[in-house]
Homo-oligomer: A and B are copies of this chain.
Amino acid sequence: MIAHETLKSQIIKALWQLIIEGKILPNQPMREVHLAELLNISRTPLREALQQLEWEGIIVSESRKGYRLAQFSENDITEIYPLRARLESFALELSGIPTQKVLDELIEINQKILNTTSSKQIVELDERWHLLLISNCSNERLLKMIKILHRQSQRYEYAYMEMNNTVEKSVTQHENIILHLQNGQLHQAVELFAKNNLVGIDTLINWLNSKSK
């Protein structure tokens, strides 16, 4: 049986690509006819996709004025990362100590992060690492919220690395978390995981402030 991915979800992916590649700029109006022509689809499924991205906090809209990519702001960063830290910590609590198999995979991904120089891949691998760590969490709603926050933070990370050609690696922190999990110290791992989620904040805020000058 073929899954037959819906147009809407394809459009969301395409728009997301345009956004992280910087093809769509913040505050620029996203005109529906233009995007529909670009992606070769009609306005109906496009609007559905736009509404979902709005829902996810990536784009914003004003009634009868249309959609535009949300402006970067320091406030976003101070909202997103601490919230991510809380939610992911909670998810790790609920997950408990991972199985040996998962721990091995976590080590493997971390090794890949260490070895790659592609910033884009580092961001992707970092997300995979985070999601794998909490993959035993059975609270689907919690996981969904975390994934939304990933998207929101990734927009900043991609934009940052677009200008700096680099992105922070948290290999050592990951190692530390794994170590504590291997020793059965879940609570300590949870604390470290929370801290790990906060590590990028200052860098991003500094970059943002220097950029706006």
| Interface of A toward B, CB cutoff 8 Å | 4, 6, 44, 47-48, 51-52, 55, 57, 63, 79-80, 82-83, 86, 90, 138-142, 145, 149, 152
Contact = CB atoms under 8 A, between A and B. Distances in A.
A180 to B, nearest CB: 22
B79 A139 contact: yes
Contacts of A4: 63
Contacts of A63: 4, 6
Contacts of A138: 79
Nearest to A90: B86
Contact of A142 (B79, B139, B141, B142): B79
A192 to B, nearest CB: 19
A4 B63 CA distance: 9
Contacts of A55: 52, 55
A145 B152 CA distance: 14
Contacts of A145: 145
Nearest to A142: B83
Contacts of A80: 141
Nearest to A144: B57
Nearest to A61: B6
A17 B28 CA distance: 37
Contacts of A142: 79, 83
Contact of A44 (B44, B90, B141): B44
10 contacts: A44-B44, A48-B51, A79-B138, A79-B140, A79-B141, A79-B142, A82-B139, A83-B90, A83-B142, A86-B90
Given A6-B63, A63-B6, A90-B86, A141 B51 contact: no
B51 A139 contact: no
A47 B138 CA distance: 30
A141 B55 CA distance: 11
A91 B57 CA distance: 19
Given A48-B51, A86-B86, A141-B149, 6 more contacts: A47-B48, A51-B51, A51-B52, A79-B140, A82-B139, A83-B90
